Amino acid sequence: MQVMDCVANRVKPLARLHIRAALLSSTRRSSDDASLRRRRRLLYDRILRVDLAGELGADRIYAGQMCVLGRDPVVQHMWEQEKEHLRAFERLLTQHRARPSALRPLWGSAGFALGFATALLGQRGAMACTVAVESVIAEHYDNQIRELLANAGEDHAELLDLLRRCRDDEQGHHDAGLEHGAEEAPLYGLLTATIKAGCRGAIWVAERI
């Protein structure tokens, strides 16, 4: 009987240690899971916010160009694709409860003004705008794709698919702009450099506000 009591007294502390270790392990896992979810939320919040702002700006650029150029078939085709991008990002923003840019009205107004102003230079001016904007945006999407792939890419299949599709469309717009005389626009070098700088600045702001 004394032997049994001795064994029992030794087993009890060991059992308590095992229970304590299991609880600590479970707590760590819960903490790690919460941290992972928080990082993912912040990542999606930033990506969806800036991309929705960018697609809104692109939609308004083409709207401004169409006001000047009329029903230009090249611009119309690009505009239809931008509308699809905008709807897709709006859906994902809602799905992931991400926060849109607080400067959304500014991006819409600035986009329309840019499209309208460059179209006043004719179709080549509009195409120069497209080349400048889409070169920056295609690069931007490439950067986001690399970032997602480096952060458990298999967990981001839906967003990666959308980013790749948008990047390919934007690259297509860029190439179409060159094919339709963008480089023959007045002050092409200065115009595109200015637009690119503006786009990069807008991306930086929209990621944060």
In the chain the beta strands, taken as DSSP E runs, fall at none
Q: Any known ligand binding at 173?
A: yes
85 is in an annotated binding site: yes
- Give the integer Cα–Cα distance in Å for 206 and 66: 25
**Residue with tokens 């479970």, as numbered in its chain:** 26
- Nearest to residue 92, comparing CAs of 51, 33, 57? 51
Q: Which residue has the tokens 């807008």?
A: 202
Q: Is 139 annotated as a binding residue?
A: no
For the packed helices 123-149 and 104-119, what is the interaxial angle rounded to 10 degrees? Answer: 140
| 82 among annotated binding-site residues | yes
CA distance linking residue 94 with residue 90, whole number of Å: 6
Neighbours of 101 (CB within 10 A): 21
Tell me the C-alpha distance between 103 and 53, whole Å.
8
Alpha-carbon distances, residue 132 vs 22, 57, 68, 184 (angstroms) = 57, 14, 19, 14
Binding residues: 55, 82, 85, 134, 170, 173
Binding residues for Fe cation: 55, 82, 85, 134, 170, 173
